[in-house]
Amino acid sequence: MSDEEAKQRKRIQASQKRTQARQLESQRTVAQGKKDELDEKIEKLEKAKQQVTTALSSLDSFSSGISSLKGPGSFRGDRKDKYIKKIGDTEKKLKRFSKTHTENKKKIEEKLKQLKEDQQKVSMTIGSLSTRIGSLYSAAAQLDC
């Protein structure tokens, strides 16, 4: 094989490596888009979790305030019974509401955990693709010399 044929073969190989690198770059772009989407979802869920936590804290404070009103005070007879029943009903509703919010918070935390795992996998994919792209461009540059 002549020197000219060897140079031509190296140019073809370099071109193939650059083509492979460009294909991997498009895959990396898609993966980066997916990562950005996951980042956005995580941010929204973190905000929602914070809001639920704040709501639960306020609800607990309010519930404690209601519980402190449980004594009949100056009410007597039928009014006293109605007052105690209303306070009890309110406490039950607040407990149900609190339980629902607590369950929702757990669901949010589970979803966040899943999204963060997915985010980590995508980040690793992006890193791997970047390494392969760099290697291909480096190999192409060496073949061009």
Q: pLDDT of 35-77, one tens digit each?
A: 999 999 999 999 999 999 999 999 999 888 888 877 767 777 8
Q: What is the DSSP letter of 117?
A: H
Domain 3-144 grouped into CATH 2.60.40: no
CA dihedral 12, 17, 18, 22 (to 10 degrees): 140
Tokens standing for residue 103 = 């369950």
pLDDT tens track for 69-109: 777 677 778 888 888 888 889 999 999 999 999 999 999 99
Predicted pLDDT of residue 77: 81
Q: What is the pTM of this model?
A: 0.79
Distances (CA, A) of 37 to 24, 29, 60, 84: 20, 12, 35, 51
H or E stretch at 26: helix 3-68
